[in-house]
C-alpha cells in the first residue's frame, strides 16, 4: 500500500516538474511520518525513501533512535527553545525557525555539541492567525540577524499554506515566497545560500512545484489519513 502511494506521489511530482519545465532532481520529497509507526517508516526505507519529516521533538527522537537504517530527519513543526538541545545533532534540517530567540538557542546548543545546523526560516505568507512563522516584511531582518551565528546555516524559506479546497488558491502565496527567496538571495548575505524552498503538502504540492518548491512535505498522500486519538 505504502509503496503504491509513494509511487503515485512520485509520478505526480514528475508530471508537475515536466509541466513546469523543471528537472525532477530539483525537488526533494519529504515523507511526513508524524503519528505513523516505525514499521511504516521501515517499509518506506525499503522503497528507497531517505527523507522523513516529524513535527514533534519527542517523536522525532524516538524514531531516530529506533530506526534500523540511518535516514535524514526534518523537523517541520514548531520548535520550543527548551527542546532544542534534544535535536540539534539529530536533524538534517529544521524548517521552522521564526525568531531570533530560537535561533540563538540553536546556536548555543549547536556550539556545545560542535555541530553546524541547517535551518529554514518559516514564513506565514498568508498571514493566518493560527500559524507560526514570520510576516514576509520581517524575514530579511531576521535572516540578517541569524546569518552572523557561526553554527547555523540558513538554507532557505518554508511556509505552511492555508488549507484550501482548491490548491490553485495557494498559488499566489507560493509565488510570493519564491520571490522573497530570490530577493534575499540577491543580497548575497554571508552564510545564507537560499537554495531551499520548502512548500507544498498533500493537497497542493503540484502547484507548489510549479511555483518553484525544492522540497515538498507529503504525509497523507503517502501514509494515508492520520489518527490523532490513538
Ligand X SMILES: *Cc1c(COP(=O)(O)O)cnc(C)c1O
Please name which of 148, 96, 150 lies closest in space to residue 120, comparing C-alpha atoms.
96
Site string for ligand X, 131-170 (x = CB under 6 A): -----------------------------x----------
Q: Does 224 bind ligand X (CB under 6 A)?
A: no
110 CB contacts (<8 Å, ≥6 apart)? 88, 89, 116, 117, 151, 152
d(CA 58, CA 93): 16
219 binds ligand X (CB under 6 A): yes
- Residue 10 interacting with ligand X (CB under 6 A): no
- Is 34 among the residues that bind ligand X (CB under 6 A)? yes
- Pick the closer one to ligand X by CB: 127 or 191: 127
User: Measured from the CB of residue 106, what is the shortest distance to ligand X in angstroms?
Assistant: 18
Q: Does 212 bind ligand X (CB under 6 A)?
A: no
**What is the x/- site pattern for ligand X, positions 99-128, by CB under 6 A?**
------------------------------
Q: Is 84 exposed, middle or buried (0-12, 13-18, 19+ CB in 10 A)?
A: buried
Nearer to ligand X, 167 or 219 (CB): 219
Distance, CA of 10 to CA of 16 (rounded, Å): 10
**Closest distance to ligand X from the beta carbon of 204 (Å):** 9
H-type alpha helices, 28-117: 38-46, 57-66, 84-87, 100-113
Between 212 and 221, whose beta carbon lies closer to ligand X?
221
**217 binds ligand X, rule: CB under 6 A:** yes
Q: Which of 224, 227, 230, 229 is nearest to 32 (CA)?
A: 224
| Alpha carbon separation from 223 to 16, 123, 160, 220 (Å, rounded) | 21, 26, 19, 5
The residues in 188-207 that bind ligand X, with binding defined as CB under 6 A, are 201-203
Q: Which residues contact 82 (CB under 8 A, 6 or more apart)?
A: none
- The distance from CA 28 to its chain's CA centroid, rounded to whole angstroms, is 10
Total number of residues binding ligand X (CB under 6 A)? 14
Stretch that binds ligand X, among 106-114, 134-142, 175-183, 219-227 (CB under 6 A): 219-227
Q: Give the interface with ligand X as residue ranges (CB under 6 A).
A: 32, 34, 55, 76-77, 160, 201-203, 217-221
Amino acid at each position: 500500500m505504502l509503496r503504491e502511494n509513494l509511487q503515485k506521489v512520485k509520478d505526480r511530482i514528475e508530471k508537475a516538474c515536466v509541466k513546469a519545465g523543471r528537472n525532477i532532481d530539483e525537488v526533494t520529497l519529504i515523507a511526513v511520518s508524524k503519528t505513523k509507526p516505525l514499521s511504516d517508516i521501515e517499509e518506506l526505507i525499503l522503497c528507497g525513501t531517505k527523507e522523513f519529516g516529524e513535527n514533534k521533538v519527542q517523536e522525532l527522537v524516538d524514531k531516530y533512535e529506533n530506526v534500523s537504517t540511518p535516514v535524514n530527519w526534518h523537523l517541520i513543526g514548531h520548535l520550543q527553545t527548551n527542546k532544542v538541545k534534544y535535536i540539534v545533532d539529530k536533524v538534517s534540517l529544521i524548517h521552522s525557525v521564526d525568531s531570533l530567540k530560537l535561533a540563538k538557542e540553536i546556536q548555543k546548543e549547536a556550539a556545545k555539541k560542535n555541530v553546524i545546523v541547517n535551518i529554514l526560516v518559516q514564513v506565514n505568507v498568508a498571514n493566518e492567525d493560527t500559524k507560526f512563522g514570520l510576516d514576509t516584511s520581517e524575514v530579511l531582518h531576521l535572516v540578517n540577524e541569524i546569518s552572523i551565528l557561526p553554527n547555523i546555516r540558513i538554507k532557505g524559506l518554508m511556509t505552511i499554506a492555508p488549507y484550501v479546497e482548491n490548491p490553485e488558491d495557494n498559488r499566489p502565496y507560493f509565488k510570493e515566497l519564491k520571490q522573497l527567496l530570490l530577493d534575499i538571495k540577491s543580497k548575497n548575505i554571508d552564510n545564507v545560500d537560499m537554495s531551499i524552498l520548502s512548500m507544498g503538502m498533500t493537497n497542493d504540492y503540484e502547484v507548489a512545484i510549479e511555483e518553484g518548491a525544492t522540497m515538498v512535505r507529503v504525509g497523507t498522500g503517502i501514509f494515508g489519513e492520520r489518527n490523532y486519538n490513538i
